[in-house]
Amino acid sequence: MQCSKCRRDAVIYQRYSGLHLCEQHFNRDLEAKAKRAIREHRWIASGDTVAVALSGGKDSSAVLYFLHRLLHERRDVRLMAITVDEGIGGYRDPARARAIAERIGVPWVTASFREEYGVTLDEIVARKGTGLSCSYCGVLRRALLNRVAREEGVTKFAYGFNLDDEAQSVLMNVLRGDPYRLTRPVREVAGFVPRIKPFMYIPEREVALYAFLHVEGFDLAGCPYAADALRGDVRGILDAYTYRHPATKYSLVNLGEALRNPEQPPEGGLRVCERCGEPCGEVCRACQVLDEVRRGA
């Protein structure tokens, strides 16, 4: 197949646009969408230090490469990468993330559950079972990333979340009947480093192709605990439906954005955890999780 915009060979077909694209036009298309997302959300400003939460997988590696291309000539914005080692045997390898950051040419720092909390995710799962692995992992990783980011003077956290991730999150909140998460506004909260998601309008398969074209050595393995997540079921439902209705994921992401009303006050207001001093909505969930793990509750 030839590119719809030139005569070169196509590397991808976009069902939602009806276009075949060669490598050059694919890169241009993806980067233009990511830049538009940054511009429309006013995600990066002069003086920012942007840290990519670098897992070493395709999405975070791709967003690191893209942001380096976008920002490397700017003297007023700093880019770095932070990797959290949750302690998942055979899956998380910080050395891989470090090699990716070094090849791209971005400063890299790391932190681990073992050093911060005295326990790995594997040990938590051994004590608590796999049912809440993602919930515990997410809470503890976010708290640790937030702490490291503040120490490093980070003003924005860049995640590799793609269109599929975002659409799944909206549908999961609908299926859980969770109006608070569905309508929770995206706003800056003191103590939390704000998150940016340059690939939120780009389908997962396009982010994967971008990573294959530009990043060497990213991790293809999936987390061994991922199968326990509701997300896996929702992914299957959504992919099957989107095959027949190609715009569905965009519709869900747009719905999610429209429902987030920035005027809505935070539930319970912002408090600070009495134990660890981290900001939290009501009580610090990271300290609750660690109590549960240590008590064996």
Pick between residue 52 and residue 77 the one whose CB is nearest to ligand SF4.
52
Q: In the complex, what is the shortest distance from the CB of residue 226 to ligand SF4, in angstroms, rounded to a whole number?
A: 4
Q: Does 144 bind ligand SF4 (CB under 6 A)?
A: no
**Residue 227 has what DSSP assignment?**
G
Pick between residue 104 and residue 134 the one whose CB is nearest to ligand SF4.
134
- Interhelix angle 285-295/133-151, rounded to 10 degrees, is 130
Sole window of 26-34, 57-65, 133-141, 208-216 interacting with ligand SF4 (rule: CB under 6 A): 133-141
**Residue ranges with strand state E in the chain:** 12-14, 19-21, 49-53, 78-85, 108-112, 156-158, 195-196, 271-272, 279-280
**Residue 213 has what DSSP assignment?**
H
**Residue among 51, 81, 137, 253 that touches ligand SF4 (CB under 6 A):** 137
> What's the Cα-to-Cα distance from 27 to each of 13, 121, 217, rounded to whole Å?
13, 37, 20
What six digits make up the tokens of 289?
A: 């999780």
Are 154 and 80 in contact by the 8 Å Cβ rule? The answer is yes
Pick between residue 31 and residue 292 the one whose CB is nearest to ligand SF4.
292
83 Cβ contact list (under 8 Å, min separation 6): 53, 54, 55, 56, 94, 97, 98, 108, 109, 110, 111
Q: Is 79 helix (H, G, I), strand (E, B) or coil?
A: strand
Sole window of 59-67, 130-138, 239-247, 278-286 interacting with ligand SF4 (rule: CB under 6 A): 130-138
Q: Does 191 bind ligand SF4 (CB under 6 A)?
A: no
Are 199 and 34 in contact by the 8 Å Cβ rule? The answer is yes
**Residue among 223, 238, 252, 293 that touches ligand SF4 (CB under 6 A):** 223
**Residue among 60, 83, 120, 133 that touches ligand SF4 (CB under 6 A):** 133
Pick between residue 26 and residue 218 the one whose CB is nearest to ligand SF4.
218
Distance (Å, whole) CA 233 – CA 217: 29
Stretch (H or E) spanning 127: helix 121-128
Pick between residue 54 and residue 137 the one whose CB is nearest to ligand SF4.
137
Q: Does 138 bind ligand SF4 (CB under 6 A)?
A: yes
Interface map 68-107 toward ligand SF4 (x if CB under 6 A): ------------------x---------------------
Q: In the complex, what is the shortest distance from the CB of residue 138 to ligand SF4, in angstroms, rounded to a whole number?
A: 5
Task: Catalog residues that contact ligand SF4 under the rule CB under 6 A.
Answer: 86, 133-134, 137-138, 223, 225-226
